[in-house]
Amino acid sequence: MSATTASRPNFLVIVADDLGFSDIGAFGGEIRTPNLDSVAHEGLRFTDFHTASACSPTRAMLLTGTDHHLAGLGQMAEFSERVPAFHGRPGYEGYLNDRVVTLAELLRDAGYFTVMSGKWHLGLTPETLPACKGFEKSFSLLPGAANHYNYEPYLPAEKKKSLFGTAESFYVEDDRYIQELPNDFYSSDYFTDRLIEFLGKEHEGGRERPFFAYLPFSAPHWPLQAPQEIIDSYSGTYDDGPDALRKARLARLKELKLVGNDVEPHPVVSPEAAWDSLDEEGRLLSARKMEVYAAMVERMDWNVGRVINWLKETGQFDNTVVIFLSDNGAEGNLIEAVPVFGREVTKAIASNNYDNSPENIGRANSYVWYGPRWAQAATAPGRLYKAYTSEGGIRTPAFIRYPGVKRQGAISHSFATVMDITPTILELAQVTHPGSSYKGRAVAEPRGHSWLDYLQEKDNAIHPPDHVTGWELFGRRAIRQGEWKAVSIRQIFRAPRWQLYNLADDPGETKDLARTHPEKLKVLLRHWDEYARSTGVIEVKWYGFFHFFWHVVRRKLKHG
């Protein structure tokens, strides 16, 4: 199962949390991200890379190479524990189950030093921690979100349990729950500190093992918080509002040839008031949120630079495969209106006197998110944002840099998914997946496809044109074969209806072809039935839930 250490590369997989498609410079953004941009331009940038529509399902797919419904995250744990239909059902455990084997386990077995530092979101209990899933060293944020500074006054143990399902701790090092963080803790900085520390001790110890390093940031996920000096450097940058930013980003995407010149972006969909209808105070508050978001992204980039510099200083950069991605589309939801945990968050903020005034936003004692209009500036030309199976929710920035392959310094328009990463890394590491059995238990085989032949220019595409990929989360569904995609997401006021798009001509999903191409839709729906059957998708009538959700949103927007 292993090969000689000298012939195998290292791996550094970096995941941003809720980063939009065009947020970094190499993908059309104005945010200062020189370190990511440099590595992206040296490597291969993907324009058609897809994840799940939310964070923990994507992470499950990334680390196993298979569909999240098989891996235990058929639904996000925060939702599945509140929906009786999911209780006790295989694939809906809310954590990485025993029906999969992780990439870290396989690489550890093959002699790799496996290490992670950052957001886990794949299990809260002792038996589901990173240390039990193949990581030799780890420091992890366990739930899906937390304050980025060492400031959680509103969350005593009983509140932690009601909000995130654990009364132990938000953080864990190896198998030990951490109750106290350093006073100067800031998530992106500290995650990077610990990763470099783990790698440095291994390097200084003289053990000649290749490494697999996993650095999943919790930035720029809400709450939006960043160092003050970086926030201030963006002052005034977003004073023209999200529509102007969307237009500028789209123009830059065309200039960089990341999208076609004739692309038609999907219209913005939002219950929020339009920029022009806001008063001066409303615009100031909204723009300030975007300034903080930009500062979070810049700080994340600075930390990526620290890891890259360490690799260069130790002479390991060119023997390290660097993969970067976001876990889903930009976060456009109005968190305070989400029944699952919005009530807990907003009650906590109100009861503990968080200061969300414009001049204080971004500091430890503020707690904000930026909403659907700024999110759609980043997902253009795609439709909508995180939690939707439209392109805005599942198409994310991604790139791979490794001098050991031919296809570098280029742009790829080939369809790819997060499930491809495990088989790609295994092939580069010369490690064979065990198939359907691992250490005496049955496991799911990868559904992804290795990129290696494509990277070595042996193939012209990663997946064949008849390849089928499905998505489902929160009852929102999609199925894609080649450039054709069927989507079912309109579930707010009525039962869902399938729509059909040709992404080659319409990446913005603006022209529904369901009525003009009924036979094509029938073919895709047969594929959907097979996908749902083979992955164990549980059908729940979510549209009543989303009707309630939007009722809450409209009421909050009307009454404040």
pLDDT tens for residues 116-145? Answer: 999 999 999 999 999 999 999 999 999 998
* CA 39 to mean position of chain CA atoms: 19
Q: Are 423 and 63 in contact (CB under 8 A)?
A: no
Q: What is the pLDDT of residues 452-507, one digit of tens each?
A: 999 999 999 999 999 999 999 999 999 999 999 999 986 454 567 999 999 999 99
As a whole number of angstroms, the distance between CA 106 and CA 69 comes to: 21
Tokens 């749902």 label which residue?
A: 532
Average pLDDT score over residue span 207-215: 94
Quick one: which of 215, 191, 196 has its CA closest to 311? 196
As a whole number of angstroms, the distance between CA 170 and CA 334 comes to: 23
**pLDDT class of 7 with cuts at 50, 70, 90:** confident
**pLDDT class of 169 with cuts at 50, 70, 90:** confident
**pLDDT class of 167 with cuts at 50, 70, 90:** very low
Q: What is the pLDDT of residues 81-114, one digit of tens each?
A: 778 889 889 999 999 999 999 999 999 999 999 9
Quick one: which of 123, 36, 51 has its CA closest to 386? 51
Q: What is the pLDDT of residues 288-297, one digit of tens each?
A: 999 999 999 9
The DSSP line for 463-477 is S-TT-EEEEEETTEE
Instruction: Quote the tokens at residue 231.
Output: 């926030």
pTM beyond 0.85: yes
Percent of the chain with pLDDT over 70: 88
Q: What is the pLDDT of residues 499-532, one digit of tens each?
A: 999 999 999 999 999 999 999 999 999 999 999 9
* CA 19 to mean position of chain CA atoms: 7
Quick one: which of 446, 489, 397, 487 has its CA closest to 68? 446
**Per-residue pLDDT at 348:** 64
Q: 320-326 and 398-401: which strand pairing?
A: antiparallel
- Name residue 468's beta-bridge partners: 481
Percent of the chain with pLDDT over 90: 81
**Per-residue pLDDT at 82:** 77
Residue type, 128: T
Instruction: Quote the tokens at residue 94.
Output: 């809310």
As a whole number of angstroms, the distance between CA 413 and CA 397 comes to: 12
Instruction: Quote the tokens at residue 107.
Output: 């690489």
Domains of the chain, residue spans: 5-464
pLDDT higher than 50, residue 360: yes
* CA 3 to mean position of chain CA atoms: 32
Angle at 51 between CA 45 and CA 55, to 5 degrees: 120
The DSSP line for 253-320 is HHHTTSS-TT--PPPP--SSPPGGGS-HHHHHHHHHHHHHHHHHHHHHHHHHHHHHHHHHHTT-GGGE
**Per-residue pLDDT at 349:** 65
Eight-state DSSP code of residue 136: S
Mean residue pLDDT across the chain: 91
Name 464's Cβ contacts closer than 8 Å, sequence gap at least 6.
Answer: none
Average pLDDT score over residue span 364-387: 96
The residues that are catalytic are 55, 121
As a whole number of angstroms, the distance between CA 433 and CA 16 comes to: 27
Eight-state DSSP code of residue 5: G
**Per-residue pLDDT at 2:** 36
Q: Are 52 and 390 in contact (CB under 8 A)?
A: no
Q: Strand, helix or coil at 343?
A: helix
pLDDT higher than 80, residue 168: no
Other beta carbons within 10 angstroms of residue 18's beta carbon come to 30
Residues for the chain: how many in total? 560
- Strand residues in 283-420 grouped as ranges (E): 320-326, 398-401, 410-412, 416-417
Lowest mean pLDDT among 82-91, 183-192, 551-560: 551-560
Quick one: which of 180, 184, 281 has its CA closest to 227? 184
**Per-residue pLDDT at 5:** 44
Q: What is the pLDDT of residues 45-94, one digit of tens each?
A: 999 999 999 999 999 999 999 999 999 999 988 887 778 889 889 999 99
**Per-residue pLDDT at 238:** 98
Eight-state DSSP code of residue 341: T
As a whole number of angstroms, the distance between CA 92 and CA 89 comes to: 6
Q: Which residues of 483-520 are buried (b: 16+ CB within 10 A; e: fewer)?
A: ebbbbbbebbeeebebbbbbbeebbbbeebbbeebeeb
CATH topology for 5-464 is Alkaline Phosphatase, subunit A (3.40.720)
To which H or E segment does residue 375 belong?
A: helix 372-379
Instruction: Quote the tokens at residue 18.
Output: 């809720």
- Name residue 324's beta-bridge partners: 14, 399
Average pLDDT score over residue span 224-228: 98
**Per-residue pLDDT at 555:** 52
Peptide bond into 57 cis (omega under 30): no
**pLDDT class of 4 with cuts at 50, 70, 90:** very low
**Per-residue pLDDT at 334:** 81
